[in-house]
Amino acid sequence: MKDMATYDWMESVRNTNEWLGASARAMASYPVWGLVPHPMFKVMSAWGRITERSFARMVIKPDWGIRTVVGEDGRDHIVEVDTLVCRPFGDLIHFRAVGRPARARRILLVAPMSGHYATLLRSTVASLLPDCEVYVTDWKNARDIPVSEGKFDIEDYTLYLVDFMRHLGPDINVVAVCQPAPLTLAATAYLAEEDPAAQPRTLTLIGGPIDPDAAPTEVTDFGRRLTMGQLEHLAIQQVGFKYAGAGRKVYPGLLQLASFISMNLPTHTKAFQDQIVRAARGEAGERDKHNRFYDEYLSVMDMTAEFYLSTVERIFKLREIATNAFTVAGKQVDIGKITQVAVKVVEGEKDDISAPGQCLAALGLLTGLPDQKKASHLEPEAGHYGIFAGKSWRTNIRPLVLDFIDRNSGAPKVRGAKIRAV
pLDDT digits (tens, 9 = 90+) for 86-144: 999 999 999 999 989 989 999 999 999 988 999 999 999 999 999 999 999 999 999 99
Residues 6+ apart with CB under 8 A from 350: 381, 382, 383
pLDDT over 90 (residue 366): yes
Contact between 239 and 4 under an 8 Å Cβ cutoff? The reply is: yes
Q: What angle do CA 296, 100, 139 make, to 5 degrees?
A: 30
Residues 6+ apart with CB under 8 A from 266: none
Q: What is the pTM of this model?
A: 0.91
Give burial (CB, 10 Å; 0-12/13-18/19+) of 148. Answer: exposed
Q: Whole-angstrom Cα distance, residue 280 to residue 325?
A: 57
Nearest to 58 by CA among 301, 243, 235: 301
Least-confidence region, from 211-220, 265-274, 386-395: 211-220
pLDDT over 50 (residue 267): yes
pLDDT band (50, 70, 90) for residue 410: low
Residues 6+ apart with CB under 8 A from 194: none
Q: How far is CA 108 from the centre of its chain?
A: 14
Set out the domains of the chain in order of their start, with CATH numbers: 2-60+253-296 (no CATH), 69-217+303-421 (3.40.50.1820)
User: What is the C-alpha R_g of the chain?
Assistant: 23
pLDDT over 50 (residue 154): yes
Give the per-residue pLDDT at 218.
73
Nearest to 350 by CA among 322, 316, 311, 392: 392
- Over the stretch 280-323, which tens digit does the pLDDT of each residue have? 998 988 889 999 899 999 999 999 999 999 999 999 999 999 99
Give the per-residue pLDDT at 199.
94
3-state secondary structure 290-345: HHHHHHHHCCECCEEHHHHHHHHHHHHHCCCCCCCCCEECCEECCHHHCCCCEEEE
Instruction: For the beta carbon of residue 222, count every other beta carbon within 10 angstroms.
Output: 14
pLDDT over 70 (residue 412): no
Give the per-residue pLDDT at 413.
46
Q: Whole-angstrom Cα distance, residue 344 to residue 360?
A: 9
Contact between 90 and 303 under an 8 Å Cβ cutoff? The reply is: no
